[in-house]
């Protein structure tokens, strides 16, 4: 995860008393200006960058497509536009899936897990979900494991 450098005061200026707005400076509590309903904003448990993991799943096959990150604004856009929006940790900006690739994710539902620290976004995926061109970000990336068996 990218870290922002600490602000340095210039002559005649002071540092802000509270964290700067936006994902990099958002505390785990709901931002004061969250666009989300207050009960949802209060229930979300964000990481130190103000982000929540969003697992994206194909709605009709249950195929896990990818993992992205959302802050309150990205989640709000996802819930109100019908298209999935993420917050890019590397570029420090919002991106709507499919705007450049054409591989759109149409929102079917959004759920929060029991701890409030992860989201499940069920979508109708058009084309590849992964930036590498594969259907999912997990295709062909299996790790060697020892498998178990239920008794």
Could you give all domains of the chain from N- to C-terminal order, each with its CATH number? 38-125 (3.10.20.810)
The model carries a pTM of 0.76
Tens digit of each residue's pLDDT (9 = 90 or more) over 75-104: 999 999 999 999 999 999 999 999 999 999
The answer to whether 117 is annotated as binding is yes
CA distance 27 to 96: 24
In this structure, the number of other CB atoms found within 10 A of the CB of residue 127 comes to 12
The answer to whether 39 is annotated as binding is no
The answer to whether 60 is annotated as binding is no
The answer to whether 142 is annotated as binding is no
In this structure, the number of other CB atoms found within 10 A of the CB of residue 66 comes to 22
The answer to whether 113 is annotated as binding is yes
Q: What DSSP element (H or E) covers 75?
A: helix 72-81
The answer to whether 29 is annotated as binding is no
CA distance 31 to 62: 32
Q: Are 51 and 89 in contact (CB under 8 A)?
A: yes
């Amino acid at each position: 995860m990218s870290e922002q450098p600490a602000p340095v005061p210039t002559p005649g200026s002071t540092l802000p008393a509270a964290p700067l707005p936006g994902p990099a400076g958002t505390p785990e509590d709901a931002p004061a200006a969250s666009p989300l309903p207050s009960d949802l904003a209060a229930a979300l448990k964000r990481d130190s960058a103000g982000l929540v993991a969003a697992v994206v799943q194909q709605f009709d096959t249950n195929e896990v497509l990818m993992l992205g990150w959302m802050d309150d604004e990205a989640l709000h856009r996802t819930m109100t536009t019908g298209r999935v929006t993420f917050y890019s940790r590397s570029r420090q900006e919002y991106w709507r899936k499919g705007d450049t690739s054409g591989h759109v994710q149409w929102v079917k539902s959004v759920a929060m897990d029991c701890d409030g620290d992860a989201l499940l976004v069920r979508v109708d995926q058009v084309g590849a979900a992964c930036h590498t061109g594969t259907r999912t970000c997990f295709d062909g990336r299996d790790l060697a494991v020892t498998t178990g068996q239920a008794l």
